[in-house]
Chain A
Amino acid sequence: MYLERQQNGSDGDAGLLRRFADGDQSAARTLVARHLHGVHATASRMLRDRTEAEDVAQEAMLRLWRIAPEWQDGRARVSTWLHRVTVNLCIDRLRRRRRIDPGEVPDRADDAPGAEARLQGKSRRAALQAALARLPERQRLAIMLRHFEELPNGEIADILGISVEAVESLLARGRRALAAELSGQRGALGLM
């Protein structure tokens, strides 16, 4: 899983960035292997749009390439920095959507829970994402970073720019809201 790749590789990320800044393209390939999956997954879950998620993932990685020569070892973990950039890029896009279409982020037809017969496999993810979409933005972000990307609370706090206690509070409220929201869909979610 992504967490394993991230944990195993995080110690060497700053060194890889230095090597990339010195012209070593193999370092770029290793960084892509370690981080692009997580960046793309976060963007996909936040935006629920394949094309936009790919655009954001590419942009976040591009920013990493550009900052490589100035990267300072003690500054932040590469994974944290990438997630922060990704989350901010996604928030920008979500807010732009709202300006175009005021109100909540619309649920897309292909993500909305349908008949129970079709809500298996992929539709379980769709049901959860639809419920997530109805959460307040920060609760949704905290839930996704904690339970999908499996980041520790301290890192989530860095990404969102809030305290660890605030992260814990967001997670608790988010989980309660999801539990209530999905209570009628146990069958569809494969929990029966």
Chain B
Amino acid sequence: MMWQLGPNAVVSASCVGPLHRAVDSVFENFRTDPARDDGSIRPLELDARMDGSGALQLFASGAPIVRAESAEALAPLLEGSLLGYAVRTRRDAAAFHAGSVVIEGRGVMMLGPKGSGKSTLSLYLAKNGANYLSDELALVRFEDAKLLAFPKSVTVKQGAFHLFPELSAEPTHQDPVRGPIRYYRARSGAVQEHPVDLIVLPRFNAELDAPRISKLSPSETALELVQQAFGGLERGAPRTLDLVGRLAMVPAIRLEFPSCGSAEEAIVGALREGR
């Protein structure tokens, strides 16, 4: 089986064993037909073998990479590794720690560090009619500053399991860093690229009664973008710097929210205000 993660990034794995299921649980939307492989890109060949202790060793193109204590730990390990592989072979776009969706024809980039709630919010919005682009890795093309879809399955951490009861039938994966997680196989939307119309810095805060919104100045937005850029400004220099300069002029808000529903209302309100 094969998955195309980018213009220069193809992954292959045998259909036998737990490996292809693990890749599929994260990257199902990237599946490609092996028959269409023209041989121009050498795929990263994945393999998983049981070692003496019953753990799985992940191999990539012949080399032992890392050990997964169980089949449940395989998908999160692959998620991180293959995200890195996809980003580091991607020459046409900057990468940010951000979720991204298109709501009412407007592109929203939700920028923030781990734990800010951007994945959960991306999923909530996608389930409520937004066009899903990505949950934690936003690719923005250097050339025209457009968001590009990277529709991997949305990672839902244990704290948000209750928000998505339909996931209760899905397997729980053991991430050695993030703890128990589940994957929501969000459908890739019809829109695959879109300009950024609003930048949101989400922060979940259960103690609030209502969302708290504050507008960001271009300088604040610029510094947030730099902090959340993969590889900082060094990656793709000087194009990333130019891109940050362009994106910093997009309307941006800091949004503390007590629930996804209230965040959605605030985002839609900000989009309408910006029209």
Asked if A and B bind, the verdict is no
